[in-house]
Structure 1
Amino acid sequence: MATEPLPDRRARGSAAAAVAWKDQVVRPRESEVADSAWPRLATPRLRVDSGSGQVTLRWDPVQGAAGYLVYRGSSPDRPFQVVDHGGGDLVRAVPGPSYADTTGRPGEPAWYAVAAVAAVDAPPGQMSRAAGGIPRASPTDDPVRVEVDASHVLGALPRPWRMVGSEHLSQLLYPKDDRGIDVGREFQDAFRLARRELGVTYVRAHAILHDELSVYRELDGQSAYDFSKIDAVYDALLGLGIRPVVELSFMPHDLARDPNQTVFHYQAIIAPPRDWERWRGLITAFATHLVDRYGLDEVSSWAFEVWNEANLGGFWSGSLSDYLRLYDETAAAVKSVSPKLRVGGPSSASGAWIGDLAAHAVKTGVPVDFLSTHIYGMLPVDVGATARDLGLRGVPVWWTEWGVNPRHFSAVNDAVFGAPFILHGMLSAMGRDQYLAYWVLSDHFEELGPPPRLFHGGFGLLTVGNLRKPRYWALRMLEMLGPERLALELEGDGGGSLLNALATRDGNGGLCVLVWNGTLDQSKVAGDRLLDRQVELRLRNLRTARYGVEHYRVDEAHSHVRRTWEAIGSPDWPDQAGWATLRSKDRLEELDPPREVASEAGQLALRFELPNPGVSLLRFSRRTPV
């Protein structure tokens, strides 16, 4: 069936709208898992190392812990305060077992303690013994040593970045807007880039049941379905080589308990269904239609996620029990079409309600094929441990939203700071969480209205016009790594906490080493010279050969197209000449020209400066035997 063009949305977003939106949305509901249900966790054993501009904390992992709270005080006597590095999320726990605190005043002593938590919304265990440290007020001349063993393969490199988040997918069908921007074409091009350069295979997006797509109506008291516009959306998406994680939201007007309860610029209805049988009928009909159109083998490779952030009052006007009923009805509907179809949740903000859904599933037997949740400004913690503590085991974890900051119109979203942040997060998730989906791919994002100017602090990895931001380049560098992960060791000031690394090899004798320097402390978005480091990279157990070396860099002076935009006067929307200038700088830049080096006795050594924030990718291509 032919579909009508989707409407052009002409309202503009603003920072004031972002503040109003945050006040509306961030009203968390508490977990109903009793404190007594959580295991008693061991007390961490804390070690503290002082460094230039930072203090690194290290501790032994605690069995059953989802994460750790880091406390700081001015003396070893309590009470301490939980360290807040300004990420903006409700969660304060870090994954551990190391953490670089850069929030202290250089030269001023501080005392630290750490406590394990079984869930982000569970009470903490006993704090460790306090240990003191002082962030030094002078730069360090000693390098951080990164030593890679080219013969020690740890296994296949996990790639949790291959799922991304997106604004509602109906934008794939949008016409040109009032500025002449072809939104639909640019949105499709963004997915083409993500597929080709980032390896993305899945996208999770809002509002597939929104009335914009005319999915559900009640005519003469009967349910009526029309999936033709969804077909157009999914046909376009699949044609780009990307599959959907079908977030089942928001509520169709005619099915809503209260259709006046809405969120976002596009008035998404957040109310529970007024008739559970009709909701179940809608989901059954929808899943049946998808299987009929695309085939069971194809749709069973997708996934159905139940709602979005129902633990926040701004996204769900019902209660926790209403959400669990929604989950039960939805899971039953999906599985009635085929047990091969995957369904999961709770799709919560801030890692919450994982325990509630896990306990509910253990009690009732409702299927949970994946656990999904979201976090911002923090690294992902081990919410799988939370589920296991309550008896739900063997369920993969999907972070279906994650980002450097929870606020749209935040300058950090366009800054270099986000590049090492992404790499810290992906390293934390590797081998533990199946997906860590960055939110979102494109600045074509309408929750608060269409973007008001080119660089506006938007969530996107790509701008309007698909210029690549530093966060995008971080993911591109990850995708450029080889298939086999190599063992490495880090030593020195901030090694393994502030500064970290990954190393890989390919089947042709080539190696890649990705090194980054970044703090979670968002008071340091513009950098801090005390946190700059020298890196001494050593490769050992190499084959004797000559190697071509390419050194790619993301920092304030490289692979940072916003600087070019500022140099041409920061126009809201560039003219044709401005776009040409910007596109000429939209590339992953090399720090040095390519060169050749020879291994000696199976070793290579290089030394380079790495600012904070900054990322280096070094590729070693084996050329000829020496």
Structure 2
Amino acid sequence: MTSTQHNPSGSTRTDGTPEARADWEARIGTASGTAFGGNAPLLDPPTALAATPGGHQVTLTWETVPGAIGYQVHVADSPDGPWGALDHAGRDVLAVPHPPYTDTTGTPGVTRYYAVASLSDVHVEGPRSEAVAAAPLAAPAEATTITVDAGGDAGPLARPWRPMIGSEHLSHALLTDTTGGHSIGAELSSALKAAHDELGVATVRAHGILCDDNAVYREVDGQPVHDFTGVDKVYDHILSLGLKPCVEISFMPHDLASDPTKTVFEYEAIISPPKDWDRWYALVRDLTAHLLERYGEEVVTEWSFEVWNEANLEVFWSGTPEEYLRLYDVTAAAVRDVDPRLVVGGPSSAAAGWVEELLAHAERTGSPVDFISTHTYGSPPLDFRPMLERYDRAGTPIWWTEWGVTPTHFNEVSDAVFAGTFLLTGMYSAMDRIEALSYWVVSDHFEELGRPQELTHGGFGLRTVGELRKPRWWALAMLERLGDTRLPLVAGGDGGGSLVEAVSARTVGGEDDGTVGVLAWNFTLDQTKASGCAELARDVSVSVTGLIPGGTYTLTHERVDADHSDVTGRWGAMKDADQAWPTEPQWAELRAHDHLEHLEPARTVTADATGAVTVDFELPNPAMSLLTLTPA
């Protein structure tokens, strides 16, 4: 295996590329080992596959298959092939968890053929279905409709963004250094607190609590010395912001590593297995016992312990797959030895991998798996409930402890409105089937492959350096502002329920005053259209029924698109070509626009004799609109 050699932070190759970034880009796709066990079967293909053409899009629907965690859509130019997975340029897992699937990669008038295969695991794909043919239309044949029953009740609105958010390693929040003239620690802390206060987030997950910047482990005269002073400073600070930690038990302390030269990131996190498994057990047990003693019963009731990060990638684990399973067993045993009620899980894997393997291993060994965790980028998260059922673990919490629009650092899609609509699609898909969908990450104060060199640099954060809210922050804020009672909703017309999706709830603000919120967005998984596609804009008609006949309501319409609530796009339009950071007047202008903007002024509307209000508007691609009807 290739390894990263120890280099001083920030050292560069002769071509000027930072060593950590060059190594990352060279090895990020390399697995640390192949799939190594499990019981995932080959499943039958879906039936009733249908392709419905629309304006510059084709919507695919099919009957779901028992046991499937997701589906791979295939496309060909002729019924005889050649066939290939439909590539929406997500750069990670291309499979989707359920229908419908909207394909916007075709050309109007050009027929293509589609087939769909069922997945029982991310790498176990069954045969393709019978093919169907369709060609996108040159323009929508009809408007998109959304009908909401304000008098209905579809149950509580699930909020999978609340349990967890991702962050840079948490000692970063204590730094007094600056980036772009802004305090790293203060602004990362501000972003974390805002996630708690404005989005309802409860916990934060980050790497590297055992890294040497926290000085948890050293050997003196050959004997281990444990010191959790640095951990205490980090966790005390996180708790002061209103958050609890998900304790990702990583990475390896230098003096405990079997090969400390194998590292990842600019901060040189060591990815090696331990040189002494007993000493690793003792370290994890002592850390757990210390946390329980310091923070009390809330560690049992509100904290969790996750074993490592993405060990199925060579860049994060220099050992073998079997050594990771040993790491899991030893770590879980050490945590549980302190208190059998403590919550521990994994495999915290990249690209939805190794979940089957961990469950099969735990079935053989009896190791605890209180939750399963994995990651993916570029697609809605897969559905692991059928896999859990195969192992008689139905009801085990499913946590996607990393999820995002792209796995690629410094990708401009991360600053775009597209990323906000992507986030809405994923959260909507996750409702009622996933306990936690943790966006990676909260802030652009992030240094894995180097600190930001300019304001809009394609950072992973929901918020910029300087604490401006990106479009995808507004996506979560819009969701959070919806009421607690989900309302029945039917979407139709061109792309309704696929290209254009919507969710509605009653009671904005927590009091049952009859306020109705409708959040609608226009999105395609196709990242080649991330900068926007005029042909995918839709005329949308939203009808809210079940209101008081003749009742008056105040209508507000808040919008995120290229012209509204997009400070990163505004900065791109106002800055000089080579300008990295705003001037003070420019900062002032950006902050003046750092809020949800209205598409139109608030106005009074009256329900008709049947108790309905209809609102018509154009919804660009990408864009998101929050309509709120409040009794006047």
Superposed pair shares fold, TM > 0.5: yes
Supply the AA of the counterpart residue of 1:606. V
- Equivalent in the alignment of 1:153: 153
- Equivalent in the alignment of 1:53: 56
- Equivalent in the alignment of 2:629: 620
Q: Which of 435-444 and 126-135 deviates more? A: 126-135
Of 549, 558, 568, the residue aligned with 1:562 is 568
- Equivalent in the alignment of 1:113: 115
For the residues of structure 2 that align with 1:131 and 1:412, how far apart are their CA atoms? 32
Shift of 1:555: 0.4
After the TM superposition, which residues 334-413 of structure 1 pair with which residues of structure 2 at under 5 Å, given as runs? 334-413=335-414
- Equivalent in the alignment of 2:3: none
Of 38, 41, 49, the residue aligned with 1:38 is 41
Identify unmatched segments of 5+ residues in structure 2.
1-7
- Equivalent in the alignment of 2:4: none
Supply the AA of the counterpart residue of 1:74. D
Of 71, 75, 78, the residue aligned with 2:78 is 75
- Equivalent in the alignment of 2:247: 246
The alignment partner of 2:417 has SS state of coil
Shift of 1:268: 0.4
Task: Go from structure 1 to structure 2 and tell me whether the alpha carbon gap of 1:334 and 1:389 turns closer, same or farther (over 3 Å shift).
Answer: same
Task: Go from structure 1 to structure 2 and tell me whether the alpha carbon gap of 1:567 and 1:102 turns closer, same or farther (over 3 Å shift).
Answer: closer
TM-score normalised according to structure 2 size: 0.94
- Equivalent in the alignment of 2:208: 207
For the residues of structure 2 that align with 1:573 and 1:172, how far apart are their CA atoms? 22
Shift of 1:44: 2.9
For the residues of structure 2 that align with 1:430 and 1:212, how far apart are their CA atoms? 38
For the residues of structure 2 that align with 1:331 and 1:498, how far apart are their CA atoms? 43
The alignment partner of 1:160 has SS state of coil
Identify unmatched segments of 5+ residues in structure 1.
1-7
Supply the AA of the counterpart residue of 1:128. S
Shift of 1:15: 9.2
Of 606, 610, 617, the residue aligned with 1:608 is 617
- Equivalent in the alignment of 2:168: 167
Shift of 1:179: 5.1
Task: Go from structure 1 to structure 2 and tell me whether the alpha carbon gap of 1:330 and 1:447 turns closer, same or farther (over 3 Å shift).
Answer: same
Q: Is the 8 A contact 1:18 1:408 kept in 2?
A: no
- Equivalent in the alignment of 2:531: 526
Q: In the alignment, does 2:598 pair up with 1:590?
A: yes
For the residues of structure 2 that align with 1:270 and 1:565, how far apart are their CA atoms? 38
- Equivalent in the alignment of 1:302: 303
Of 91, 98, 102, the residue aligned with 1:88 is 91
Supply the AA of the counterpart residue of 1:548. T
Task: Go from structure 1 to structure 2 and tell me whether the alpha carbon gap of 1:537 and 1:180 turns closer, same or farther (over 3 Å shift).
Answer: closer
Task: Go from structure 1 to structure 2 and tell me whether the alpha carbon gap of 1:37 and 1:611 turns closer, same or farther (over 3 Å shift).
Answer: closer
For the residues of structure 2 that align with 1:248 and 1:82, how far apart are their CA atoms? 36
Post-superposition Cα deviations, 1:408-440, rounded to whole Å, max 9, x if no partner, equal 110100111111111110111111010111101
Q: Is the 8 A contact 2:49 2:61 kept in 1?
A: yes
Of 99, 102, 118, the residue aligned with 2:101 is 99
The alignment partner of 1:549 has SS state of strand
- Equivalent in the alignment of 1:4: none
Task: Go from structure 1 to structure 2 and tell me whether the alpha carbon gap of 1:421 and 1:15 turns closer, same or farther (over 3 Å shift).
Answer: farther
After the TM superposition, which residues 225-374 of structure 1 pair with which residues of structure 2 at under 5 Å, given as runs? 225-374=226-375
The alignment partner of 1:402 has SS state of strand
Q: Is the 8 A contact 1:9 1:177 kept in 2?
A: no
Which 4+ stretches in 1 moved above 4 angstroms? Answer: 8-20
Shift of 1:19: 5.5
For the residues of structure 1 that align with 2:516 and 2:481, how far apart are their CA atoms? 11
Supply the AA of the counterpart residue of 1:49. T
For the residues of structure 1 that align with 2:398 and 2:132, how far apart are their CA atoms? 34
The alignment partner of 2:360 has SS state of helix
Task: Go from structure 1 to structure 2 and tell me whether the alpha carbon gap of 1:264 and 1:10 turns closer, same or farther (over 3 Å shift).
Answer: closer
| RMSD value, Cα | 1.8
For the residues of structure 2 that align with 1:11 and 1:100, how far apart are their CA atoms? 45
Supply the AA of the counterpart residue of 1:116. S
Q: Which of 10-19 and 171-180 deviates more? A: 10-19
Supply the AA of the counterpart residue of 1:93. A
For the residues of structure 2 that align with 1:230 and 1:445, how far apart are their CA atoms? 19
For the residues of structure 2 that align with 1:404 and 1:364, how far apart are their CA atoms? 36
Post-superposition Cα deviations, 1:520-557, rounded to whole Å, max 9, x if no partner, equal 00110111121100111011111232111110101000
For the residues of structure 2 that align with 1:618 and 1:339, how far apart are their CA atoms? 48
Q: Is the 8 A contact 2:344 2:368 kept in 1?
A: yes
Supply the AA of the counterpart residue of 2:101. Y
For the residues of structure 2 that align with 1:19 and 1:590, how far apart are their CA atoms? 43
Query: Across the two proteins, how many residue pairs are aligned to each other?
Result: 612
Supply the AA of the counterpart residue of 1:607. D
Q: Is the 8 A contact 1:41 1:63 kept in 2?
A: no
For the residues of structure 2 that align with 1:38 and 1:454, how far apart are their CA atoms? 48
Shift of 1:178: 6.9
How high is the sequence identity, in percent, across the aligned residues? 50
Shift of 1:16: 9.3
Supply the AA of the counterpart residue of 2:61. R
Post-superposition Cα deviations, 1:570-624, rounded to whole Å, max 9, x if no partner, equal 531222222111111111111010111111121111100000000000111112x
Supply the AA of the counterpart residue of 2:150. A
For the residues of structure 2 that align with 1:193 and 1:37, how far apart are their CA atoms? 41
- Equivalent in the alignment of 1:599: 607
Q: Is the 8 A contact 1:361 1:392 kept in 2?
A: no
Shift of 1:151: 1.8
For the residues of structure 1 that align with 2:269 and 2:9, how far apart are their CA atoms? 14
Post-superposition Cα deviations, 1:326-346, rounded to whole Å, max 9, x if no partner, equal 110111111111112110000
Shift of 1:258: 0.3
For the residues of structure 1 that align with 2:181 and 2:570, how far apart are their CA atoms? 23
Supply the AA of the counterpart residue of 2:620. P
Supply the AA of the counterpart residue of 2:556. E
For the residues of structure 1 that align with 2:273 and 2:296, how far apart are their CA atoms? 30
Shift of 1:220: 1.8
For the residues of structure 1 that align with 2:556 and 2:478, how far apart are their CA atoms? 12
Supply the AA of the counterpart residue of 1:307. W
For the residues of structure 1 that align with 2:48 and 2:25, how far apart are their CA atoms? 38
Q: In the alignment, does 2:68 pair up with 1:62?
A: no
Task: Go from structure 1 to structure 2 and tell me whether the alpha carbon gap of 1:33 and 1:387 turns closer, same or farther (over 3 Å shift).
Answer: farther
For the residues of structure 2 that align with 1:621 and 1:19, how far apart are their CA atoms? 53
Shift of 1:20: 4.2
Post-superposition Cα deviations, 1:60-107, rounded to whole Å, max 9, x if no partner, equal 111110000101111222441110000011x22111221000111222
Q: Is the 8 A contact 1:145 1:492 kept in 2?
A: yes
TM-score normalised according to structure 1 size: 0.95
